[in-house]
Amino acid sequence: MDMNEIKEIFFQECEEQLAELESGLLKMNDGETDSETVNAVFRAVHSIKGGAGAFGLDDLVAFAHVFETTLDCVRSNKLDPGHRTS
């Protein structure tokens, strides 16, 4: 297996992770902020970040890191995901 094949697998897995991420975020938007949903979103972001790091996609890694940090705040109840501003 060469590097192009490995990258192709990474991008296919990203599609799956993005679908999981979207599903979880939609649930959270609808008020489902239970730990299972939040953790599923976190895992999707974390998986994408790990693969992105392996391929030197530094901007994606940086974005995912901020996303993870925000989700950590939700998991530790420092941030209310249901709070909306007008």
SS3 10: helix
Is 66 part of a structural domain of the chain? yes
CATH of the domain at 19: 1.20.120.160
pTM check: above 0.85: yes
Domain enclosing residue 44, as ranges: 3-75
Q: Splitting the chain (86 residues) into consecutive groups of 10 residues, what average pLDDT does each group show?
A: 90 95 95 93 96 94 96 91 65
Q: How many CB atoms lie within 10 A of CB 77?
A: 7
Instruction: Read off the tokens for 42.
Output: 């976190």
pLDDT at 86: 54
Contact 25, 44 (CB under 8 A): no
Is 61 part of a structural domain of the chain? yes
Is 81 part of a structural domain of the chain? no
- The total number of structural domains that make up the chain: 1
Is 86 part of a structural domain of the chain? no
